[in-house]
Amino acid sequence: MLDLTFIREHAELLQRTADRKGIAVSIPALLKQDMLRKALLQEVEQLRAQRNRRTEEIAARFRAPGARESQAAAAGVEAAKREVRAVNDRLAVLEGQLAEVTAEWRSLLALVPNPVSPDTPDGRSDADNVELRRVGEAPAFAFEPLDHVQLGERLGMLDLARGVKLAGTRSYVLKGIGSRLHRAVQQLALDALERRGFTPLEVPTLVRGEAFAHTGFFPLGRDQTYALAEDDKYLIGTSEVCLVSYYAGEIVELEQPIRLAAATACYRSEAGSAGRDVHGLYRVHQFAKVEQVIVCRADEALADALLHEMTANAEEILRLLELPYRVVAVCAGDMSQKTHKQFDIETWMPSRGAYGETHSSSNVLDFQARRAGIRYRDADGALRFAYTLNNTAVATPRILIPLLENHQREDGSVYVPLALRPYLGGAEEILPF
């Protein structure tokens, strides 16, 4: 959510941003509703004040000596009562109109996008993202490589058929070493973040709708979310929802940035993605993520530096996993409503013959903090809204795709990276089942 003064002063910029991000919102319509809302509110407040004055006058006349015996006083009271009734009738109409206009105003305001950074590339989809760098070399196999599903089944670590039997399409079961590997990469990521000053939190995965609104996932992301609508609770698709909303409505100390991390189960309905990436573990309904979130002062240079820091944290995890990857600057058309600047990390997946997205870093400025009411005191003691940033440190089972495929050997075994071995009992390889 943005400041209304900012919206008025940058209406054309924000309309262009909405168009670039593919968000159907009219900034002129919002400003028109805002003017109408203000006019109605002013009239309603004037009528309420008039009603209160007349009500006080009636009470004063009743208290005056001899008022009850005076016909003139009684007539004056009746006239004042008629005026109050007329005001109340007018108020009932205007308050109804104000409620309708305010509801429309709020719905439009909730759709206004965060402006993108000046160096954000133009484009409509991930095909228009701009590569910044590549790290590592894609493996050149001297044999016909298997994909992660074939490997997972031969290694006895993946059972897609029974996952579908249990929960329907885009479901899976990881078993044995598969389950251990799934947890190992999460703990590896958490340990790496703790070394960099992040505080780990264990957070709920079923949270109130307001937490999704605070973080900009509602209203536009509602169709991606599994709901217990009768309780106004929803399953998270990322612990960013919790880590940011953790400080909702608070004044926080930001002498140093607050660094938080969490490993959680996550859920996405994947509405609108029928037919996309349906093979194996790439796009599933339930997964796990280690998320990093930073809350900092409203300083754009600081926030940009922290965005690079978070991205570097994720890159370190990929280097520990000994995987080739590239970093891309995300274009405006591939960004969400809340994002000001974004980097994605894509890891090489041999079965796709391409890089696939595995990590994402976003700077959202004060967009979430305004919605959530997260403030701090600046050097002059004035209250200001904080900035927030987020990054996927690792997401699994998706990361298992490049982990298995890049490290496979001709004999059917899979090499275990050095950094993962302590989490797998010292195992140097995964052997066929």
DSSP codes joined into one string, 150-193: HHHHHTT-EEHHHHHHHH-SS--EE-THHHHHHHHHHHHHHHHH
398 classed as catalytic: yes
Q: Which of 51, 268, 371, 375 is catalytic?
A: 268
Q: Which of 270, 336, 398, 405 is catalytic?
A: 398
Domains in the chain (CATH in brackets) are 4-109 (1.10.287.40), 126-430 (3.30.930.10)
Q: What is the 3-state secondary structure (H, E, C) of 375-427?
A: EEECCCCCEEECEEEEEEEEEECCCHHHHHHHCECCCCCEECCHHHHHHHCCC
Order the strands of the 199-200 sheet from edge to edge.
Answer: 130-135, 325-329, 341-349, 354-363, 387-396, 286-296, 258-267, 199-200
Nearest 5 degrees, angle CA 74-CA 79-CA 85?
125
- In whole angstroms, give the CA distance from residue 345 to residue 387: 22
268 classed as catalytic: yes
100 classed as catalytic: no
- Other C-beta atoms lying within 10 Å of the C-beta of residue 347: 23
- In whole angstroms, give the CA distance from residue 176 to residue 159: 11
User: What pLDDT does 211 receive?
Assistant: 98
User: What pLDDT does 71 receive?
Assistant: 57
Q: Which of 240, 270, 357, 405 is catalytic?
A: 357
pTM of the model: 0.92
End-to-end CA distance of the chain: 52
Q: Which of 239, 336, 351, 360 is catalytic?
A: 360
Output the tens digit of pLDDT for each of the chain's 433 residues. 799 999 999 999 999 999 999 999 999 999 999 999 999 999 999 999 998 888 887 777 666 665 555 555 556 667 778 888 898 999 999 999 999 999 999 999 999 999 999 999 999 999 999 999 999 999 999 999 999 999 999 999 999 999 999 999 999 999 999 999 999 999 999 999 999 999 999 999 999 999 999 999 999 999 999 999 889 999 999 999 999 999 999 999 999 999 999 999 999 998 777 666 778 999 999 999 999 999 999 999 999 999 999 999 999 999 999 999 999 999 999 999 999 999 999 999 999 999 999 999 999 999 999 999 999 999 999 999 999 999 999 999 999 999 999 999 999 999 999 999 999 999 999 999 7
**292 in Cβ contact with 408 (< 8 Å):** no
Token reading at 290: 């280690």
**237 in Cβ contact with 269 (< 8 Å):** no
Q: Please report which residue ranges of 110-134 form alpha helices under DSSP H.
A: none
User: What pLDDT does 58 receive?
Assistant: 74
Amino acid symbol at 163: G
Token reading at 429: 């390889």
Token reading at 294: 């930073």
Q: Say which DSSP state 17 is in.
A: H
User: What pLDDT does 270 receive?
Assistant: 87
Closest CA to 223 of 184, 267, 180, 271: 271
Q: Which of 208, 283, 297, 384 is catalytic?
A: 283
